[in-house]
A and B are shown apart, each in its own frame.
Chain A
Amino acid sequence: MSEPEVRIRDLRVVYGDGRSGVDALGPLDLDVMRGQFVSVVGPSGCGKSTLARVLVGLAEPSAGSVVLAANERGSAMPSAIVFQDHAIFPWKTVLQNIAFGLTVSGVDHAQANARARSWVHRMGLTGFEDSYPSALSGGMQQRVGVARALAVEPDVLVMDEPFGSLDALLRDVLIEELLGLHQDLRCTVVFITHSLEEALVLSDRVVVLSARPGRILADRAVPFPRPRTLEVRDDPDFGSLRQDLWHLLRSQVDVGRSADERAAG
């Protein structure tokens, strides 16, 4: 059995300290194997973004450990993230945005541009290289965000509700594109979402978190073969899996609410 690409042990994150500290996440144990696409779903405020931030080094574990195998290998960019909002820099052109991660890691200008350009084409952004994000639609902006993260060839791609602010139709388009990308690249992905449907269509595994502080309630394999399309949604097993996970999630939303009511009362 090979080493997992992401190895999380007893992870806890607490914001602030002492009695006023907020328990945001954990304790949590999770392994993600190389090339695996894992979705993390959970009620709002359960610590999903916190987990994503820890994975890209934007937050520190308060206890426990997060080990990326790529770090041990001395990889240049062990992980990269795609955010929901404020994803891309409005003062940089599409090409400059995509090349950003390469530029700041010291890749020389010509090579960074060449690699960014190939991502421009791959993401269907040809012709918009020199446009500023304000001239792009939300969907195209998010493609730039995905390209910027993938251009550095991260060992683990972290996505924090990347399609959360797009309309349903556009979200479907981007989900299909992401399925294609994962099929080609076989990269390890940790995909944060609150949509069970998104999680089931995209992933090899779906992890359900409890209400805050998020702990693992369920960890289900998604059996549908790859390459996949959005049509897996019509599979009868899709419906029952979704139903099953939905009941779990729903119980947590109620837990969260009654906890909030107690806190307020």
Chain B
Amino acid sequence: MSVPQAEAQGSTAAAAVAGGRPAHRRARIGWILPLSLVLLWEGLTAVGVIDDRFFPPPSTIGIGAVRMVAEGDLLGDTLLTITRIAAGFVIGGILGYLTGLATGVFLTARRIVEPTLSAIYTVPKIALLPVFLTIFGFGEAPKIALVSLTVFFYVWIYTMEAVVQIPRGYRDAARSFRVTRRQELVHVVMPATLPSVFTGLRVAIAVAVLVTISSEYIVGGSGLGYLIFNSRALFKIEDAFVGIVVVAFLGYTLQLLVMRIGARVTRWHGSAPVATVRVNV
């Protein structure tokens, strides 16, 4: 049999190089806008166009951050917030993934739960916080439960839709080798849905940050959400801005982390997980 080398669209190594370079360049372009805004802000406060009592310049925020770390509460609050996000993300992610697989695979299961879950899906999750406070009291539980619930819905919907949309040909190909249901799940359903699942996880982590901060804001006591709220209430505008910047970095870093892991485990997939996403808190 002939070896038609020319037929190959290029080795995997060549494809990786071709796909990798523009991605890096895109990442660098992404820094231009925030950096320009920071410089503009700094400049406008320096010449007095912006009132630095309400909008402290980036340099002041930077110095404030160092002071707050030294005083000891910023790192602690950040760590607490990360812990809440992570706990909710793991619990909600696992439950959402399993529910998504089950409702995706079994039509009857989907018909039973879908209307109910879809109805709850459209309720802004933060509106459920009072209910959760009643159920779980004032400890960590209501916040983590709320984040878990939010993450659960995103991962569940993305996973279920992905399972339903697996082209029939893949399942037929597997079944023609007389696979068991378990083998079909492991060799076809789970890998085929990974790209969508990671898109869901990426949305979920972003919303998890949002919900965690909001619930800390409302419940109070600790965490970056409380720090922002409390600082503002005490007219420590500078401290509030430090909190906001840390949250922004946290959200960015966590999304990047999820995307990197996703790209790694779905290397076979032509493109990176989708960037445009639907958000419904």
Chain A residues proximal to chain B, CB less than 8 Å: 53, 56-58, 77, 79-81, 83, 85-93, 100-101, 104-105, 122-124, 126, 128, 130-137, 139-140, 152, 170, 173, 177, 180
Contact B7 A139 (CB under 8 A): yes
Chain B residue nearest in CB terms to A132: B268
B146 to chain A, nearest CB (A): 34
B232 to chain A, nearest CB (A): 49
Q: Is B236 on the interface with A (CB-CB < 8 A)?
A: no
Chain B residue nearest in CB terms to A91: B191
A79 to B177, CA, bound (A): 8
- Other than the given A101-B177, A122-B1, A180-B1, 9 more pairs (CB < 8 A) read A80-B177, A81-B173, A83-B172, A91-B266, A92-B191, A105-B177, A134-B268, A135-B9, A135-B11
User: A104 — which chain B residues lie within 8 A by C-beta?
Assistant: 174, 177-180, 183, 187
User: B68 — which chain A residues lie within 8 A by C-beta?
Assistant: none
A126 to B11, CA, bound (A): 12
A89 to B171, CA, bound (A): 10
Q: Is B2 on the interface with A (CB-CB < 8 A)?
A: yes
Report if A135-B12 is in contact (Cβ < 8 Å); known contacts: A89-B173, A122-B1. Answer: yes
User: B173 — which chain A residues lie within 8 A by C-beta?
Assistant: 81, 83, 86-89
User: A152 — which chain B residues lie within 8 A by C-beta?
Assistant: 177
Contact B8 A89 (CB under 8 A): no
User: B179 — which chain A residues lie within 8 A by C-beta?
Assistant: 104
Q: Is B80 on the interface with A (CB-CB < 8 A)?
A: no
Chain A residue nearest in CB terms to B195: A91
**7 A–B pairs (Cβ distance < 8 Å), ordered by A:** A57-B178, A83-B169, A104-B187, A124-B1, A124-B3, A132-B268, A137-B9
Secondary structure dominating the interface of A: loop
Q: Is B10 on the interface with A (CB-CB < 8 A)?
A: yes
Contact A132 B4 (CB under 8 A): no
A250 to B257, CA, bound (A): 60
A176 to B15, CA, bound (A): 30
Contact B270 A137 (CB under 8 A): no
User: A173 — which chain B residues lie within 8 A by C-beta?
Assistant: 2, 4
Contact A126 B169 (CB under 8 A): no
B214 to chain A, nearest CB (A): 37
* Partner pick for A137 among B7, B11, B269, CB 8 A cutoff: B7
Chain A residue nearest in CB terms to B168: A86
Contact B177 A131 (CB under 8 A): no
Contact B172 A100 (CB under 8 A): no
User: B94 — which chain A residues lie within 8 A by C-beta?
Assistant: none
Q: Is B175 on the interface with A (CB-CB < 8 A)?
A: yes
* Partner pick for B188 among A89, A123, A137, CB 8 A cutoff: A89
User: A137 — which chain B residues lie within 8 A by C-beta?
Assistant: 4, 7-9
User: B85 — which chain A residues lie within 8 A by C-beta?
Assistant: none
What per-residue 1/0 map shows which CB atoms of B263-280 lie under 8 Å from chain A?
000111110000000000
Q: Is B235 on the interface with A (CB-CB < 8 A)?
A: no
A91 to B270, CA, bound (A): 10
Q: Is B170 on the interface with A (CB-CB < 8 A)?
A: yes
User: B177 — which chain A residues lie within 8 A by C-beta?
Assistant: 77, 80, 100-101, 104-105, 152
Chain A residue nearest in CB terms to B179: A104
Contact A132 B267 (CB under 8 A): yes
Q: Is B134 on the interface with A (CB-CB < 8 A)?
A: no
User: A180 — which chain B residues lie within 8 A by C-beta?
Assistant: 1
Contact A124 B2 (CB under 8 A): yes
* Partner pick for B1 among A56, A91, A131, A177, CB 8 A cutoff: A177
Residue among B7, B9, B169 having the largest count of chain A Cβ atoms under 10 Å:
B7
Contact B1 A123 (CB under 8 A): yes
What per-residue 1/0 map shows which CB atoms of B146-175 lie under 8 Å from chain A?
000000000000000000000111101111
A133 to B270, CA, bound (A): 10
A24 to B228, CA, bound (A): 67
A61 to B188, CA, bound (A): 26
Contact B169 A85 (CB under 8 A): yes
Q: Is B144 on the interface with A (CB-CB < 8 A)?
A: no
A123 to B10, CA, bound (A): 18
Contact A89 B9 (CB under 8 A): no
Report if A57-B176 is in contact (Cβ < 8 Å); known contacts: A86-B170, A91-B192, A91-B194. Answer: yes
Closest 9 CB pairs of A and B: A86-B169, A91-B191, A132-B268, A137-B7, A124-B3, A101-B177, A124-B1, A56-B176, A81-B176
Chain A residue nearest in CB terms to B169: A86
B7 to chain A, nearest CB (A): 4
User: B192 — which chain A residues lie within 8 A by C-beta?
Assistant: 91
* Partner pick for B172 among A58, A77, A124, A177, CB 8 A cutoff: A58
A124 to B5, CA, bound (A): 9
A76 to chain B, nearest CB (A): 9
Report if A139-B175 is in contact (Cβ < 8 Å); known contacts: A104-B187, A134-B270. Answer: no
B184 to chain A, nearest CB (A): 9
Contact A131 B11 (CB under 8 A): yes
Report if A140-B7 is in contact (Cβ < 8 Å); known contacts: A56-B176, A58-B176, A100-B177. Answer: yes
A100 to B192, CA, bound (A): 15
A135 to B11, CA, bound (A): 7
